[in-house]
Chain A
């Protein structure tokens, strides 16, 4: 089945540090990848949609300069949390959809637990 790999699984760093999270589709090509954020005991909130070769589309209220997204190839998207602060601590999950057909499901990575001290 379709596999999405997300790395790292956990990050602990000091306030002011920039953190990069990678999302890879291992056995399929993904024109579109998605980045979600999940607070404790809450549901997933879409942050942005990453399109290969073009700028990401951000949801309302998500700071573009804070959460930089790059989708350089059909199998890799990265999310960089710039100058992270404690309020950025959260669980970040990426997903990818097979480019093959519009109705294909999104496949999710295992998430990244980000803790800013």
Chain B
């Protein structure tokens, strides 16, 4: 059974700093890994999707890496801003997921606070 862990559960950093969020998963047979952002009381916004054959993806100030063999992914946020404050979730989709029944296993998230 796939298990996804995110450490730390909460993180506070001053505005302008670069930071790294961590995600680890127990079963390396994944199809892809996705990073999401969730604002309080809201749904999820997809940030980056990394296919199993890829090692990283970039979007603006965000960079996500994937090391499938070690079961790890990181989300790097450059030059953090107060607007980046949110909960960040990673989710993995296993290769055992069949077409039309692809389950995402989510981590419990990291609650990020950027201090102005």
Complex CA distance for A44 and B107, rounded to whole angstroms? 8
Shortest A36–chain B CB gap in Å is 8
From A12-20, A61-69, A82-90, A108-116, the one touching the partner chain is A108-116
Cβ of B32 within 8 Å of any chain A Cβ, yes or no, is: yes
Residue of B nearest to A94 (CB): B43
Please determine whether B41 and A108 come into contact, CB atoms closer than 8 angstroms: no
A-B contact count (CB 8 A): 60
Please determine whether B89 and A103 come into contact, CB atoms closer than 8 angstroms: no
Chain B 29-47 interface mask (CB, 8 Å, partner A; 1/0): 0011010100001111110
Please determine whether A108 and B45 come into contact, CB atoms closer than 8 angstroms: yes
Shortest A67–chain B CB gap in Å is 16
Known: A43-B89, A43-B109, A103-B31. A31 touches B43 (CB 8 A): no
Q: How many residues of B contact A (CB 8 A)?
A: 25
Complex CA distance for A95 and B36, rounded to whole angstroms? 13
Please determine whether A43 and B44 come into contact, CB atoms closer than 8 angstroms: no
Q: Which of B4, B49, B99, B100 contacts A105 (CB 8 A)?
A: B49
A residues 52-83 touching B (CB-CB < 8 Å): 57, 59
Known: A46-B104, A97-B102. A111 touches B34 (CB 8 A): no
Residues of A within 8 A of B (CB): 4, 6, 31-32, 34, 42-46, 49, 51, 57, 59, 91, 93, 95, 97, 102-103, 105-111, 113
Residues of B within 8 A of A (CB): 4, 31-32, 34, 36, 41-46, 49, 51, 89, 91, 99-104, 106-109
Query: Which 8 A-B pairs give the minimum distances between C-beta atoms?
Result: A108-B44, A110-B43, A43-B106, A111-B43, A43-B108, A108-B43, A105-B49, A44-B106
Q: Given A51-B100, A111-B43, list of 18 further CB < 8 A pairs? A: A32-B100, A32-B102, A42-B108, A43-B4, A44-B44, A44-B106, A46-B104, A49-B103, A51-B101, A95-B44, A102-B99, A102-B102, A103-B31, A105-B46, A105-B49, A106-B34, A106-B46, A110-B42
